[in-house]
Amino acid sequence: QVQLVESGGGLVQAGGSLRLSCAASGSIFSIRAMGWYRQAPGKQRELVADITSGGITNYVDSVKGRFTISRDNAKNTVYLQMNVLKPEGTAGYYCNADILSRRYRWIKAWGQGTQVTVSS
C-alpha cells in the first residue's frame, strides 16, 4: 500500500503565498510523475502542475509565472509554491503520484486533499 499526505493549505488574502507539501510513503520502489490538481465547487478537477522524476515541469496556463512545483526524490515529496494567489484559486488541492510499488505494480495514488481559500 502507498499513501500520499498533503499539508500546507489554508486561508490567505489575494496576493499572498502558500506552500503545499505532499509526502508519499509505503511500499514504494520508485515514483515517476508527481503533480497537483485542484477542484473548485461545481467544477471539474484540473491539473495545476506536474513534474517528472527528472525535474521536467508542466503548468496550466493560469498559474504560469506564479506557481512553482518541485520535488525531493530522496524524501518522496513534492511541493507547490503558490505566489500572487487569486480568489479564483480557491479550491481543494490534491496531490497525485505514479508509483511503482515494491511488488512492481504501478499505482496512481491520490492524497486526501488540502483546502486553499483565497479571500479578495
What parts of the chain have a pLDDT lower than 50? none
Non-local (6+) Cβ contacts of 62 within 8 A are: 88
pLDDT of residue 113: 96
pLDDT of residue 87: 97
pLDDT of residue 86: 97
pLDDT of residue 81: 98
Strand order from edge to edge, sheet including 67-72: 2-7, 18-26, 77-82, 67-72
Instruction: Indicate the SS3 state at residue 84.
Output: coil
Q: Give the integer Cα–Cα distance in Å for 46 and 7.
A: 19
Contact 35, 108 (CB under 8 A): no
C-alpha dihedral, 13 to 66 to 72 to 117, nearest 10°: 30
pLDDT of residue 49: 98
**Among 37, 50, 54, which residue's Cα sits nearest to residue 95?**
37
Instruction: Identify the residue whose cell numbers are 495545476.
Output: 48
Q: Give the integer Cα–Cα distance in Å for 97 and 5.
A: 11
pLDDT of residue 20: 98
